A and B are shown apart, each in its own frame.
Chain A
Amino acid sequence: MSPRKLDLSIYGALIAAGILVPLLAPAFTSQMAVLWLMVLMAVTWDMTGGQMGYNSLGNITFFGIGMYASAVVQIGLVYDVAEYTSAFGAIKVDFTEDQYWTGLFLGIGFGGVMATIFAMIVGPFMLGLRGPYFAIGTLGLAVAVAEMVSGWRYVGGGSGISMPVFPGAAGTGSLVFYILLFALAILSHLVVRAVLKTRFGLAINAIRDDEDKAEAMGIHTTRYKVIAWMIPAFFMGMAGAVFGNMSGFIEPLEVAFPTATFGIFMVAMALLGGKGTIWGPVLGAILFHIIKEVTWTHLLGWQWVALGAIIIINIVYFQQGILGWAQDRWPALFGLTVDERMTRTGQAEAAE
């Protein structure tokens, strides 16, 4: 089977699973919705982290910006946002069904766009940083934005915003958000995969392998890097908008900018599955989410200890991740042509 066919069959399996689960086990839709969110986060993180070698710890910023942007749009369509937030949710928002749906879709789009614009503005500065400085800088960015939003009265500051309530019947809300997150996850993976197949993908791989040489060969590294960061930003922004609506109540530190949880999880998931591979982040996200849910159900209080241990073991002993390991083992399966002789000398050199 060719790699292309393999990819197609995995897509088929994922889509089948995505459609079957809410039908077979409707009670699990909200957990599964979070699973798709995790997949989206890991996949988009890997675009810059795995494929371009820029390990961001701050992609969660886009998530929160998307969430807040959509909240402002959704409420702003009908009410005065400042008045709404200064009342601490004491105004009851009453949306007609039309208003809700227009608001939701405008909000999701606007969330994605705002996050992308933000990436475009800060990108040239942040992406000038190299290696660990980029990681620390983006982490700092995420914390700074979260703190700024907590102090910003217009969006309610630390007291957060109550989101408009889903108008449909009970249970349909989580199904709608499930479908949205599922579609976004699959779409983001398709986009990332398609982009990586183009010349653009080769360019960002070149940046990962040797940025100075890539620049010397005439690649506009900064432009490429910023565009490569805007793609995850767009999807993270939209996902944030959906997740904000799913949560029903948003506030800066725990829901919108959870730097120490989702912000790091997406990195851990991509590494677990195999950084820089097409399917690694998906596999990693699925496994990570299952582990998280299972430890959380059965090891109350110890789930975080378990997660910490998993991250350490993964990083320290098993860094290339599951698919990374498989890729080294069976490169042909991943559509890689490898000159066996060269690899062997290469490995020998590296070993020295």
Chain B
Amino acid sequence: MHFVKTELRAAAIAAALTASLGLAAAPAEAKVDGDTIILGSAISLTGKYSTNGIHAQNGYELGVKMINDNGGVTVGGKSYKFKVVYYDDESTPARGAQLAERLINQDGVKYMLGPYSSGLTKAIAPVTEKYKIPMVEAEGASRSLFTQGYRYLFAVLSTSEQYLASSIALAAEIAEQNGKKASDVKVAMAFENDPFSLDVRAGVVEDAAKYDMKIVIDDKLPRDLSDMTSTLTKVKALKPDLLVVSGHSKGAATAGRQISELKISTPMIAMTHCEAAKVVEKYGADAMEGLLCPTQWAETLSYKDDLFGTAAEYDALFKKTFEGYKTVPYQSAQATAAVMVWKDAFERANSFDTEALRDAIADTNMTTFYGGIKFSPEGNNIAKPMVLRQIQDGEYKVVAPVKWASSKARHPRQPKY
């Protein structure tokens, strides 16, 4: 019996050691490996954000491919190629924070690309900040990311409070045109209970307060609720002038369906992620007529650069490279823009030093197919507006801001249910 006991003890020790050392197999990669510059990103490849996570990954990949195919990145007279190390964060913030450490410590990554969603970015930013690793992110829009005094965080996209704020301005404008006061406008809000949507909500609340509008409904949608009948019943009862909805693609899918089924007659409805949820394809152009959808980027905008050409050319290239896209999500476009920021920064800094690179990124002032990129001292992009599109006869038409508008906003909405 004796040998069994020792064996058991040996097994226990072995188990403990495997636990500790078995994981230590992967060698740390260098930040620059031969002629390759390694970027790192924790991204949602599985879990609830994986659709958009993969959109973002495709965006990164297209950016990397185009840069590598067109001469790469020139640092110190030598041409380098980009390569991105990805880890799957399973769409959970806790995992994201661990992965950021893993990328930095185990894989030796010194240059980061962002994850998908504000929640994940909130989890990762303190880590990269701590290690003084610059991160250019493209998918975390929450305003609170840029009030923490982060020095190493840069975002190419517009912050989330701008998503629906323009719809409030539009509602006020229209009310005044119709001889009413802006303060008479009644607003109904339905926002998903998650960091991103609540941030969008904060922007709406702030702007509504500016015009002294009355908020009559303030519902928060649970994350896996596929039925918002009770909220929409309230909308029918209280007859607001403006309904704003936000809840990633699934919120938009639910809202789109039930707005049409319950024949909601609110004259103005604005919601995020219409394109991602493919509401027109799903519920028909007639029912979705007049919905206002904010977007970070649209292929119809007249931005351009030397690498990709115009926004429309990027759109065509993306569709050619990746199968199954009818419209290119802005999530992909901004991810590509983040890679372009890195290239630009490497070439201007002419160095691999993270501090020099940080300063170079902070000084970024470039135009891309995605729009202008110039960072405020807080790190958010201030050179690009959020645009508001309206679904008009099944097409997404830019209606605000006026500078980019391709057609006039139709008010009130005239859907045919």
Known pairs A159-B194, A296-B88 / 13 extra A-B pairs, C-beta < 8 Å = A13-B13, A20-B20, A88-B143, A159-B195, A165-B130, A243-B94, A248-B122, A249-B119, A290-B18, A290-B23, A303-B46, A333-B1, A333-B4
**Taking CB as reference atom, which chain B residue is nearest A9?**
B9
- The answer to whether B105 and A88 touch across the interface, beta carbons within 8 angstroms, is no
- The answer to whether A90 and B143 touch across the interface, beta carbons within 8 angstroms, is yes
- List the interface of chain A (C-beta within 8 A of B): 1, 6, 9-10, 13-14, 17, 20-21, 24-28, 30-32, 34-35, 87-92, 147, 150-151, 157-160, 162, 165-166, 170-171, 173-174, 243, 246-251, 253-255, 258, 261, 279, 283, 286-287, 289-290, 293, 296-297, 300-301, 303-304, 326, 330, 332-333
A333-B5 contact, Cβ under 8 Å, with A150-B193, A293-B23 = yes
CB neighbours of B144 from chain A (8 A): 87-90, 162
- The answer to whether B19 and A290 touch across the interface, beta carbons within 8 angstroms, is yes
A208 to chain B, nearest CB (A): 25
- The answer to whether B97 and A247 touch across the interface, beta carbons within 8 angstroms, is yes
- The answer to whether A90 and B195 touch across the interface, beta carbons within 8 angstroms, is no
- List the interface of chain B (C-beta within 8 A of A): 1-2, 4-6, 8-9, 12-13, 15-24, 26, 28, 45-46, 88, 91-94, 97-98, 101-102, 105-106, 119, 122-123, 126-127, 129-132, 142-144, 147-149, 192-195, 197-199, 202, 220, 222-223
CB neighbours of B193 from chain A (8 A): 150-151, 157-159
Cα distance A290–B15 when bound, in Å?
A: 10
CB neighbours of B45 from chain A (8 A): 300-301
The residue that B92 contacts in the complex, of A34, A255, A303, with Cβ under 8 A, is A255
The residue that A286 contacts in the complex, of B16, B98, B149, with Cβ under 8 A, is B16
A17-B16 contact, Cβ under 8 Å, with A30-B98, A249-B119, A249-B123 = yes
CB neighbours of B93 from chain A (8 A): 160, 247, 249-251, 254-255
Interface of B is mostly: helix
Cα distance A20–B13 when bound, in Å?
A: 13
Cα distance A123–B45 when bound, in Å?
A: 39
The residue that B94 contacts in the complex, of A20, A247, A287, with Cβ under 8 A, is A247
CB neighbours of A27 from chain B (8 A): 24, 28, 102, 105-106
CB neighbours of A290 from chain B (8 A): 18-19, 22-23
A25-B20 contact, Cβ under 8 Å, with A150-B193, A158-B192, A166-B130 = yes
Which of A31, A279, A301, A304 has its CB near the most chain B CB atoms (within 10 A)?
A31
- The answer to whether A165 and B126 touch across the interface, beta carbons within 8 angstroms, is yes
CB neighbours of A296 from chain B (8 A): 88
CB neighbours of A21 from chain B (8 A): 20-21
